Amino acid sequence: MGSAIAVSPSSTIYKGKSGQWAFVLHRITGFLVFVFILLHVVDVATVNSPHIYNQIHQLYGNVFLRLFEVGLLFALLYHALNGLRVIMIDFFPSAIKNEKAVFFSMLGLAVLLTIVGGVIILRPFFTGSVH
């Protein structure tokens, strides 16, 4: 790790099929969740100023940030489930045989749970209680 010497920029582009997409998506979702943690630490840190804290959390309830919340749920679910897949492959090498099927199951499960959670998160928007 870490040595960029003698590695051409195109070397990160390889024809890895599902494994490559699993890896790319794992990085993107991990990065997004990490950025959210930084933001989240800041918003919770205002808890000793109740007025500001409550105002921020009212703001989190608007439609745009609710969509962002659903995106966060997907990133979290995908990263968690694909992480399990990575652990499986590392500790139980026989899992590599069904690596592709496991990837699509995890992706499917993440999408399904995001839809279920998304309906619950966005429900106030549909019932008209937020704008």
Partner 1 sequence: MALSLPSRSSSANRSSGVKPRQNFETWSWFFMRISGLILFFLALIHFFITHIEHDVTTTTVSFVASRWSNPFWRVFDWLLLALGLLHGSNGLRFIMDDYIRRPSSRAIVKSLVYGISGIMFLVGTMTIVTFR
Rounded least distance, CB 21 to partner 1, Å: 12
Contact 94, 100 (CB under 8 A): no
Burial 83-108 (b: 16+ CB within 10 A, else e): eebeebbeeeeeeeeebeebbeebbe
Give the type of residue at 26.
H
Give the type of residue at 89.
I
Q: Which of residues 46-105 bind partner 1 (CB under 8 A)?
A: 47-48, 50, 53-54, 57-58, 60-61, 66, 69, 72-73, 76-77, 80, 83-84, 86-87, 89-91, 93, 96
Q: Is 60 helix (H, G, I), strand (E, B) or coil?
A: coil
Six-digit token string for 83: 């992480």
**Phi and psi, residue 78, nearest 5°:** -60, -45
Q: Considering only residues 25, 26, 67, 111, which one is a binding residue for partner 1 as defined by CB under 8 A?
A: 26
Smaller CB separation from partner 1, 92 or 108: 92
Residue 120 engages partner 1 in binding (rule: CB under 8 A)? yes
Rounded least distance, CB 17 to partner 1, Å: 14
CA-to-CA distance for 53 and 11, rounded, in angstroms? Answer: 46
Residues that bind partner 1 (CB under 8 A): 1-2, 4, 9, 12, 19, 23, 26-27, 30-31, 33-34, 37-38, 41-42, 44-45, 47-48, 50, 53-54, 57-58, 60-61, 66, 69, 72-73, 76-77, 80, 83-84, 86-87, 89-91, 93, 96, 117, 120-121, 124, 130
